[in-house]
Amino acid sequence: MTDHGVPSLPAVMYEEVVRGALAEDLGRGGDLTTDAVVPAASLSRGRVISRAAGVVAGLAPGASVFQLLDPDLEVTFEVSDGDHVVAGSVLMTVSGRTRPILTGERTALNLVGRLSGVATLTRAFVDAVAGSGARVSCTRKTTPGLRTLEKYAVRCGGGTNHRFGLDDAVLVKDNHVAVAGSVRAAVERARAAVGHTVIVEVEVDTLEQLGEALEVGADAVLLDNMNIDELRRAVEMVGGRLVTEASGGITLDTAAAAAATGVDLLSIGALTHSAPSLDLTLELDPTAG
């Protein structure tokens, strides 16, 4: 559990990703530069430092980069996932043999920087809608292979997670409706096919489709690309009978207005597909072990 109440990820949920990232970087010959330049007995202490303000996420996966390369490396976290840090903050220190520290540097910075960027953007959206009661949620628009970690980073930023994959909830989208012929037909088919514990959500583009979703008994509705007036009217139509989710083109400039309509959720793909990485660096002190 982080200091911010977000359950920490077990190592089994990210070690495969970390191993793959290291294998991608090490290739077939290993770290040619470090192995040639740095004596095998050299000891150092490295500090991972943020060059910009932001919200931290992914410290444990970052640490595992170093410890998979050398289990004897000592890693100390100076902050926690979910913490807001200022430029110049030390996030973690790693001490021990210099070679694995330098070999793991880029992979560790890539992971922590990417996840911290997601957490930072999420926190900006969460702050933008503060006081409205609406929650900020991510989508499946994640980096292939990094979904678990990116959704964890969203939680570190104060957001919530939408479904993790195609197998944990039903989301009837416009193409499903087009094939089925109507919202009613699509929802009825979904209800007949899945178990009673599976949520059935349906995407609607119009208030007419919303009325159909209400009649057929969907559990949640995704109000897709509706303007502020349409969102407000949709919330009034629903009257608290099911979960309402606004989606499509929501930005930091428009999030507060969308939240003020009374929707329960704002689902925002940009949290994961457009978040810039937090700028990190590793400063090495080769005199310290």
151 catalytic per annotation:
no
* CB of 209 closer than 8 Å to CB of 192: no
Alpha carbons 150 and 147: distance in angstroms, whole number: 5
203 catalytic per annotation:
yes
* Selected catalytic residue, list 15, 35, 168, 173: 173
* Selected catalytic residue, list 19, 51, 106, 241: 106
CB neighbours (10 Å) of residue 203? Answer: 23
* Selected catalytic residue, list 150, 203, 212, 264: 203
Alpha carbons 126 and 252: distance in angstroms, whole number: 10
Which residues, other chains included, contact 145 with Cβ-Cβ below 8 Å and sequence gap of 6+? Answer: 17, 20
285 catalytic per annotation:
no
245 catalytic per annotation:
no
* Selected catalytic residue, list 47, 135, 140, 141: 141
Question: Cα dist. 232→29, 141, 198, 207, 229 in Å?
Answer: 60, 26, 28, 11, 5
141 catalytic per annotation:
yes
**Torsion angle, CA of 97/114/85/58, rounded to 10 degrees?**
-60
* Selected catalytic residue, list 201, 224, 245, 264: 224
Catalytic residues: 106, 141, 173, 203, 224
